[in-house]
Structure 1
Amino acid sequence: MLGIAAVAVPMGFLFGSGCADQPTVVELFTSEGCSSSPAADVLLNELAGRPDVLALSFHVDCWDDLGWADPFATAWATRRHRDYNDALGRSSVYTPQMVIDGSAEVFGGNARLVGQAVAAARAARGQARRNPLGIGLRERSGGLDITVPAGHRRRETRILAVRYDLRRGVLVKAGENRGRRLSHSHVVREMIDLGAWTGDACRLRALPAPAGQGIAVLVQELDGAGRPAAILGAARQERGLLGVSADPREAVARMVRTIRANRDGGATPL
């Protein structure tokens, strides 16, 4: 608890690995009972390794009656999925679907479409000349200090804490994906509303990520009907199974060290 059809294109070309002050948030709505979802899971696995993207996988239960009940699916993830589609003007939901920064949706199984959507979200942020909302996360005294700076908001805005598993794997034994071993990244297990953001600077506190999990903090607007809308800011803390905490820049540095060590024949550093 926190307390309070795939296209064969080079993935590195589509998703640059440059660091960004504010990551682009990509929410995948997926189901192990959907035959089209594994391709999107692969794409999200790639995105989850990028420091400039915050990738989150929400498993929905709307296809559980097709022969396989997704063990990670929740009713509240399904509700968030439906709320997004209503807010974006879609008449129905589908999987796999990716929602980008809370403001646009795209078929999640097509690498080119996803890459274009992420690039468009970054371009739109730049054209709006909106300063990134630099959320601070700092582990201290057994807890996680969250700082949200002052900024501009247009409507009701909430601060959300999201707990997710870094990696999960499942052998599907029935349904459309029977016999397939699926690998998932950043599987969301819990979402907590920490309260309203008024535009003033504020401080909050939560439990840090345990080993094998991550904690993300989102500052997200709601539309007039109370449905999720634009994400104004995002940050994360992740802790690998060895208990090592890593922010995005630290992850990139470790990757570079690993590549150099392998090239030189040395030991792989932690």
Structure 2
Amino acid sequence: MIASLGMYDHPAQRWANDAIWSAIAARLRAVGIAAPLALDRARSVEDAWHAPDLLLAQCCGYPLVADPGLDLRVVAVPHYDVPGCAPGRHVSRLVVRDADDARDLAAFRGRIAAISAPSSNTGANLFRDLLADVADAAPFFAAVVTTGSHRQSAFAVRTGVADIAAIDAVTYAALARHEPAALAGLRTIAVTRPSPTLPFVTARATPIETVAALRAVLSDVVSDPQLAEARAALFLSGIVPSGGHRYAALLALARDAAARGYPELR
């Protein structure tokens, strides 16, 4: 079985993810579940999502409901203590260069956007939803470049490769704390609507008894005072058991944008 916590794993946070996972694995092993001793950082998070032996990972909410190739079960939903994010919800911050004279989203028509991935909820889906209000059912940008990560999207804007990007608020908080130079010269011009945070997931084939154990262990870990420092390093303030029903709203956002004449970020 494998485990991955790669979605929020800035180099300065890796010790915290390792500490959280060690606590989870020890508790699972105590009840007879052969949890891996270490997180798998050798494979991409996307590869982890498709692994039939996935025990636990975090998954972007949009591919969870939009990619028919994913066969995952939602275990729980995290709460993050970052600006602008209610419990169990997060937003994207649309960042532009400080020196850019544009003062609203409409002023970026004909400019260049950066996205982390076309399937990213915070990098593209929420961005598309916001743009649908100003695109007037027509292509909005001169070009859209895919960068591979929120950090690289911020870099693309800073260096002039792009003019605007949507950055996940939790990633933004990590960069602001641990790598402020990555956000130097940028400002937030708009904020998307909130959506559910990245869920903890397991392979659909994981036995229901193991799913129940995962939920119990996550609830225990998030309240363990010995892990307070690790949780604070990850901005993690809570984890609540959940199913996947709340993520249907993300697919609805995409369909609503299409109904407004803006089916893809362009």
Q: Shared fold (TM-score greater than 0.5)?
A: no
Please report the TM-score for the alignment, with normalisation by the length of structure 1. Answer: 0.28
Higher helix share: 2
Higher relative contact order (CA 8 A, sep 6+): 2
Higher strand share: 1
